[in-house]
């Protein structure tokens, strides 16, 4: 990976590869999950501080069999052990569940796959009757064995008691000088233990990552699966290949999403929502019929129905917008509430403010909510009309139905109704001549 970050912590869809694998395993409701770690282990452990995980350190790293051996003392002997890999992030819970079910009743279950190019991968060796006899690593395989296209994925499920018996008997007389976990298959055959092989539902489930190129390819594979499911559920995507979901995106019927949109965290889009191109939405809820125009950024906010936001709007955390709110180009709103039908259509900043219903905020209006040390809240009551280029010095309350004239700086509370303005003078000098640039 050419990175200081441990490989398993590199992200796919906004979540580390290891987190994807742990989440898939957790869906099986196991008694415990043990993570075997080596290189970069401290960083890996630090990435999962709140998880209910067991950690087993492998030092030195002497192969896959030696790795699993580190976990055996941590596992109950009367269960089934499922072995998964932190750099194979797209494995699914149904495939893992199938393996566990196959291993019950004192059987060894192995996940295999048939590929066009098996170079570098362990081969599944079968006898004339099709029964599995062994797994041979590529470097140890004979020329005939290298022609086999059924390969070992590494995923297996086995009664823990059998693993505890077989692992100490592993040898390292091979090209790598390592203790191969795959050698337990031959031990099972020798003891007459039934060996079952299964294939994953999709080949991409067992694709591992060893480079940034492979990581990028799996990212697109994962996003394609998300896009496919969204379209099955009734979402229209302008281009399924230009969508990124880095969390959970739930949509009701007839949602339309344009190209290059990113959804992070938990996002819910109600029916009829339209998302324009190049928008970013994270941890937010959007009401039915609302339109988000291009290049809009929405973070940790709640939007009502039939609103119109953007283009180039920024909605920051803590914002709640009621139905039919309009926020236009280059409008930024932070930790504020807007009542039904209120509007701020151009070049405006509203921070820490409660805005009533049917309020109109003119272009260039700024709520000055920060005094250099503390933030202060303001209230703009129902039906207020604020002209262009107005500064509101928080904390301040503007009463119901008041009008604020263009260019006014307001630093005191405004009573309901009436017009508030700063007295100004205007002079003209007819004799004025514009300076000329010196040669």
Active site residue ranges: 346
Rounded to an integer, what distance in angstroms lies between the CA atom of residue 78 and that of residue 81?
10
Q: How far apart are the first and last CA of the chain?
A: 59
Strand partners of residue 332: 314, 349
Rounded to an integer, what distance in angstroms lies between the CA atom of residue 331 and that of residue 344?
7
Among 14, 12, 37, CA closest to 90 = 12
Contacts from 355-359 at CB under 8 Å and sequence distance 24+?
355/380, 356/380, 356/381, 356/382, 356/383, 356/384, 356/400, 357/322, 357/382, 357/383, 358/382, 358/383, 359/383, 359/384, 359/385, 359/386
Question: If you write DSSP's letter for every residue of 258-300 in order, what string do you get?
Answer: -TTEEEEEEEEE-TT-EE-TT-EEEEEEE-TT-EE-TT-EEES
* Beta-sheet pairing, 256-257 with 274-275: parallel
Rounded to an integer, what distance in angstroms lies between the CA atom of residue 292 and that of residue 272?
11
SS3 content of the chain, % helix, strand, coil (to 5): 20, 30, 50
Rounded to an integer, what distance in angstroms lies between the CA atom of residue 296 and that of residue 313?
5
Q: Distance between alpha carbon 245 and the CA centroid of its chain, in Å? A: 6
Q: Under a CB-based contact definition with an 8 Å cutoff, are residues 321 and 314 in contact?
A: no
Which helix H or strand E contains 308, and what residues bound it?
Answer: strand 308-309
Enumerate residues 6+ apart whose C-beta is below 8 A from 183. Answer: 65, 135, 170, 171
């Amino acid at each position: 990976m050419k990175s200081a970050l441990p490989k398993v912590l590199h992200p796919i869809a906004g979540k580390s590869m290891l987190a994807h694998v742990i989440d898939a395993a957790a869906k099986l409701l196991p008694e415990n999950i043990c993570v075997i770690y080596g290189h970069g282990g401290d960083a890996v452990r630090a990435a999962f501080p709140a998880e209910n995980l067991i950690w087993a350190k492998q030092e030195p790293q002497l192969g896959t069999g030696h790795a699993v051996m580190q976990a055996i003392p941590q596992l109950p002997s009367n269960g089934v052990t499922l072995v998964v890999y932190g750099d194979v992030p797209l494995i699914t819970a149904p495939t893992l569940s199938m393996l566990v079910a196959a291993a019950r009743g004192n059987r060894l279950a192995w996940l295999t796959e048939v590929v066009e190019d098996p170079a570098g991968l362990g081969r599944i060796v079968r006898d004339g009757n099709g029964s599995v006899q062994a797994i041979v690593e590529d470097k140890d395989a004979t020329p005939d064995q290298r022609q086999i296209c059924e390969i070992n994925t590494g995923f297996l499920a086995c009664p823990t008691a059998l693993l505890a018996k077989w692992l100490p008997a592993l040898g390292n007389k091979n090209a790598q000088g390592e203790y191969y976990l795959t050698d337990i298959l031959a031990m099972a055959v020798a003891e007459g233990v039934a060996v079952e092989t299964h294939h994953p539902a999709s080949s991409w489930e067992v694709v591992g990552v060893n480079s940034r190129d492979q990581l990028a390819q799996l990212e697109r594979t994962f996003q394609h699966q998300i896009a496919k499911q969204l379209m099955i559920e009734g979402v229209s995507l302008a281009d399924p290949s230009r969508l990124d979901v880095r969390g959970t995106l739930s949509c009701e019927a007839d949602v339309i999403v344009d190209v290059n949109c990113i959804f992070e965290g938990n996002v819910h889009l109600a029916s009829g929502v339209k998302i324009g191109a190049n928008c970013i939405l994270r941890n937010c809820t959007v009401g039915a019929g609302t339109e988000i125009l291009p290049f809009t950024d929405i973070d940790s906010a709640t939007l009502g129905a039939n609103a119109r936001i953007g283009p180039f709007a920024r909605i920051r955390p803590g914002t709640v917008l009621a139905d039919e709110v309009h926020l236009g180009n280059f409008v930024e709103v932070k930790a504020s509430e807007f009542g039904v039908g209120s509007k701020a259509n151009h070049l405006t900043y509203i921070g820490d403010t409660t805005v009533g219903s049917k309020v109109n905020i003119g272009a260039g209006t700024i709520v000055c909510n920060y005094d250099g040390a503390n933030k202060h809240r303001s209230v703009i009551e129902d039906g207020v009309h604020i002209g262009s280029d107005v500064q509101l010095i928080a904390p301040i309350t503007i009463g119901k139905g008041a009008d604020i004239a263009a260019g006014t700086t307001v630093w005191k509370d405004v009573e309901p109704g009436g017009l508030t303005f700063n007295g100004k003078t205007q002079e003209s000098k007819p004799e004025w001549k514009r300076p000329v640039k010196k040669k």
